[in-house]
Amino acid sequence: MRKNKASLLAVLLWGVAGGLVIVGNSSAADPVTPRMLSYACAGCHGTNGVSAGPAIPTIAGIDADYFVSAMQGYKKDEWASTVMGRLAKNYSDDQIIAMGKFFAKQQFVPADQVVDSEKAALGKSLHRQHCEKCHENDGASSEGTGVLAGQWMPYLHAALHDYISGMRPMSKNMEAKIDAVLKEHKKAGIEALVHFYGSKSH
Amino acid sequence: MAVRAIEGGVVLMFNVNRRGFLKLTTAAATIPALSVPYIARGAGQKVVVIGGGPGGATAAKYIKMANPQIHVTLIESSKEYIACFLSNEALIGQRTMDSLTISFDSLKKHGIHIIIETVTGIDPTSKMVSTREGNTHTYDRCVVAPGIDFRWDAIEGYNERTSETIPHAWRAGVQTSLLRKQIESMRDGGTLIIVAPPNPFRCPPGPYERASLIAHYFKTHGKNKSKIIILDPKDSFIKKELFIQAWSRMYGYGTQDSMIQWVAGAEGGKVDKIDPKTLVVQAQIEDFKADVLNVIPPQKAGAIAATAGLTDHQGWCPVNQKTFESTLHTGIHVIGDSCIAGSMPKSAYSANAQAKVVASAVMTSLEGREPETPSYVNTCYSIAGHNYGFSVAAVYTFDDDKKTITGKAAVTAPDASPVTLKREVSYAHSWFKNIVADSWQ
């Protein structure tokens, strides 16, 4: 996208300076704008990616690179999904990058949901012990990841289920951390983490 | 600021490319004039949106989001919108009518002027909408989203009057409540008949989802001996393999005890006549006697579309599918169920997606720009039983050569796991919340 804009600007400047134009393929349609592409997602993911929940995640404020890896994962059937794989296959790599940038710019709004404070307290200590290094600021940072703090809990449950069952790939490091949580607390540890992230209203 | 300048340049260049080489010097010379922000050029212009369903509401909201200085008036005949999507859940008591009832109050917060009146005419020459209440509203651009109307003359014995006792329940509200009451009071061992409509119609998987959920209700409410017969003029329908698989797994389909029987068009499923007194349905090969009868009549565009001269000989609205501007009247755009939109189905999601394309097209026309390249999505869920859902999803593009919307609908895999089928139900419920929020809030 950036390249496109730059070259078009160059053409424009040429035109202004010398009345000379290098006309490209005039029959080709203009590229779809990032906004036009992204607005079409809102029927499921909410206006500007802020989901009314609870199973469909908020994608506003997502890290642009993480968005691309998720969409590419869906596109290549490396990430398990219901509709996302079918949808992602229809977007070009450039369009996926453009949508990632669009949603990264949108304001994340934490989910309004009921949490179990005891579970959240255990989750807090587990997070700080195992997860904080990558999911900084108690999961509120989106640097290279999805926003966990304030995300919808049913989505977090499903995502963790998919990581643990091998339906979604994860790094060796994350695998080791999750193994450690499971070894010590079994499923209750995962549940605690979900409640901790769900309790965060930023 | 630099980025804005680049974007302005890009827009300009597209115009130049379209209009050819000779126009360039003119374009270059007018750069100072073009540097007036587009948003200012749309200011003060008036858009009237007719219809407060997912199409109309989303269009009004997204036009306001794009440019708050445009006057947007939404005219709707009902005080509230009652969602048709997921109303099959309400039929069997799994969802309240309240949860389907949507207020227009949040749209007012966007600065949209809501008028509860019934539109009786649109004059494309004077650009004026008139209402039964005797008021007129002028517009620079008009968006029409009236949904569907029924062809009351298509099935002998079934008309608007008989629908008061034999519900269609294809527009949600009292019709949904009426059918629900009849389903609940039907004796065990009774027969419920669904008369399915011919293509095209609102919510293509809807009649089959309805049969599934009613079967689920019978099974879980001591009405195991009851039957559901779908009389269909068609030989196929969307997600057919998935429905039949679900019916086989849950409701004995394919066995002698099947709770659901589907009579295809080739097997004489087309219904010509009903007797509203005896509930005998005359299909093409044999007659069927119903205890509860649900007739979903053949459909056409909402009444105002025909009144305003926006429909073709088949009763639907032909539009430029890139901008949804009517090909019969300039300045009027038609979206949602009533328009002809290539391969997009008549669904709430389609209407919502088309509304965003039309919002952009209205903006560009008011601001004197070329329409942008559209992108459209549709995702539709069907719930066939407890923790058992599936979906169809597609991204659509505008084919510049064929001048039509194209896209390939993909459905849930037939070997989807129970986890997937269960998740599709939870996504259906989340989809409901989000489509409501995105359209009306």
Report pLDDT digits (tens) over B324-348: 999 999 999 999 999 999 999 999 9
Full domain range(s) for residue B218: 152-296
B21 CB within 8 Å of a chain A CB: yes
Q: Which B residues, 391 through 420, put their C-beta within 8 Å of a C-beta on chain A?
A: 391, 393-395, 398, 400, 407-408, 410, 412, 416, 419-420
Chain B residue at shortest CA distance from A46: B434
Q: Which B residues, 352 through 381, put their C-beta within 8 Å of a C-beta on chain A?
A: 352-353, 356-357, 360, 372-377, 379
For chain A, domain boundaries: 32-109, 117-199
pLDDT for B35 equals 55
Q: How confident is the model at residue B38 (pLDDT cuts 50, 70, 90)?
A: low
In DSSP terms, A27 is beta-bridged to none
Highest average pLDDT, of A16-20, A141-145, B172-176, comes from: B172-176
Q: Nearest CA of chain A to the CA of B330: how many Å?
A: 23
A158 CB within 8 Å of a chain B CB: yes
**Which distant-in-sequence residues (6+ apart) come within 8 Å of B308 by Cβ?**
B121, B122, B124, B144, B329, B332
Q: Which residue has the higher pLDDT, A21 or B226?
A: B226
A18 CB within 8 Å of a chain B CB: no
Location of structure tokens 């053949």: B298
Identify whether residues B187 and B290 lie together within a single domain.
yes
Q: Nearest CA of chain B to the CA of A163: how many Å?
A: 14
Identify whether residues B180 and B252 lie together within a single domain.
yes
Identify whether residues B134 and B254 lie together within a single domain.
no
B422 CB within 8 Å of a chain A CB: no
Q: How confident is the model at residue B95 (pLDDT cuts 50, 70, 90)?
A: very high
| pLDDT tens string B153-167 | 999 999 999 999 999
Whether residue B129 is contained in a domain is answered as yes
Location of structure tokens 């209407």: B351
Identify whether residues B232 and B106 lie together within a single domain.
no
Residue B373: list chain A partners with CB under 8 A.
29-33, 36
Whether residue B275 is contained in a domain is answered as yes
Whether residue B7 is contained in a domain is answered as no
Identify whether residues B350 and B236 lie together within a single domain.
no
Identify whether residues B145 and B168 lie together within a single domain.
no
By C-alpha distance, which of B385, B325, B370, B294 is closest to B124? Answer: B325
Whether residue B387 is contained in a domain is answered as no
**CA A129 – CA A174 distance, rounded (Å):** 13
Q: How confident is the model at residue B39 (pLDDT cuts 50, 70, 90)?
A: low
Q: Nearest CA of chain A to the CA of B265: how many Å?
A: 31
Identify whether residues B111 and B47 lie together within a single domain.
yes
pLDDT for B4 equals 34
Number of domains in chain B: 2
Q: The domain at A117-199 falls in which architecture?
A: Orthogonal Bundle (1.10)
| pLDDT tens string B359-389 | 999 999 999 999 999 999 999 999 999 999 9
Chain B residue at shortest CA distance from A23: B17
Taking an 8 Å cut-off on Cβ atoms, the answer to whether B393 and A23 are in contact is no
Identify whether residues B271 and B160 lie together within a single domain.
yes
Q: Under CATH, which number does the domain A32-109 receive?
A: 1.10.760.10
Identify whether residues B142 and B157 lie together within a single domain.
no
Identify whether residues B258 and B308 lie together within a single domain.
no
Probe site for chain B from A77, A82, A99, A156 (most B CB atoms < 10 A): A82
Q: Nearest CA of chain A to the CA of B420: how many Å?
A: 7
In DSSP terms, B382 is beta-bridged to B390
Which of B6, B398, B410 has the CB atom closest to A5's CB atom?
B6
Q: Nearest CA of chain A to the CA of B376: how many Å?
A: 6
**Beta strand pairing call for B325-326 and B319-320:** antiparallel
Q: Which A residues, 54 through 83, put their C-beta within 8 Å of a C-beta on chain B?
A: 54-56, 82-83
pLDDT for A89 equals 98
Q: Nearest CA of chain A to the CA of B170: how many Å?
A: 22
In DSSP terms, B399 is beta-bridged to B404
Whether residue B349 is contained in a domain is answered as yes
Which of A16, A36, A82 has the CB atom closest to B427's CB atom?
A82
Q: Of B277, B296, B315, at which residue does a domain stop? A: B296
pLDDT for B21 equals 36
Q: Which A residues, 92 through 151, put their C-beta within 8 Å of a C-beta on chain B?
A: none
Chain B residue at shortest CA distance from A5: B10
Which of B353, B372, B426 has the CB atom closest to A43's CB atom?
B353
Location of structure tokens 């949580």: A181
Residue A46: list chain B partners with CB under 8 A.
434, 437-438
What is the torsional sign of CA B313, B202, B318, B331?
A: positive
Whether residue B176 is contained in a domain is answered as yes
| pLDDT tens string B161-184 | 999 999 999 999 999 999 999 999
Identify whether residues B117 and B134 lie together within a single domain.
yes
| pLDDT tens string A27-43 | 467 899 999 999 999 99
Identify whether residues B200 and B292 lie together within a single domain.
yes
CATH number assigned to the domain comprising residue B307 = 3.50.50.60
